[in-house]
Amino acid sequence: MAGSYKKGEAVRNGGGNRRKGAPNLDRLQMEAVLVDTLLDTPHNFRFVNSPTDGGEFLAQMSKAIAEAPFKRRRAEPQFSWFAEADSARPVKVDREQRGLRRLWAEQLRQLPGGSLEAAQAVADVYPSPQALIKAYAACLSEQERQALVADLPIRRTVGPLVSSRRVGKEMSRKLYLVMSSTDGATEI
């Protein structure tokens, strides 16, 4: 090896430098300098073999930087929260808004103690959050609002073994609390 590298000092091999005072490093010395740079600073590097390769790399990075905001925006969901029916089948809402009713039912199901049947019973009568909010506005008292969906029937099965029950006061109260609360930290 014609010269050696020590951290903190330039290596001078003399002769052949393109710029006056610039060190002449072989590939191993350059890699050692770059490893130290990686460890000491938050920078990355890429070796290029020719000015053409450097230009292509610069063009790729420029394009990636320019496209980054558009890709971030495209990756954001149209809605701020998507309920999941289960981990394998999230609710899909397309551009024609198909799937919103199922999404509404899944959001209702997320209430503590909520079931798919109870959520479906509420979504059948109030097909959107706006419809439910309008129904709450038509109620005359706080107690009436809290009990609005309590007596909605829940159909549990079909056929000869049909059984039904009601949404219930507690579920109705929780739903009203979710729909009327202005404090996101309110416990349900």
Domain 100-180 has CATH 3.40.309.10: no
pLDDT of the residue at 17? 43
- The answer to whether 187 touches 111, Cβ cutoff 8 Å, is no
Q: H or E segment at 154?
A: strand 153-155
Predicted confidence (pLDDT) per residue in 96-118, tens digit: 778 788 888 888 888 877 778 88
Q: H or E segment at 130?
A: helix 129-138
pLDDT of the residue at 162? 64
pLDDT in tens, the chain (188 residues): 444 555 545 444 444 445 566 678 788 888 888 888 888 888 777 878 889 998 999 999 999 898 888 777 766 655 444 544 454 457 777 777 787 888 888 888 888 777 788 888 898 899 888 999 999 999 899 899 988 988 888 876 665 656 678 888 888 898 888 888 888 777 77
Q: Exposed (0-12), middle (13-18) or buried (19+): which is 9, by Cβ within 10 Å?
A: exposed
The token pair at 51 is: 């000015």
Phi, psi of 153 (to 5 degrees): -75, 140
pTM listed for this prediction: 0.49
Q: Is 178 left (phi over 0), alpha (psi -120 to 50) or beta?
A: alpha
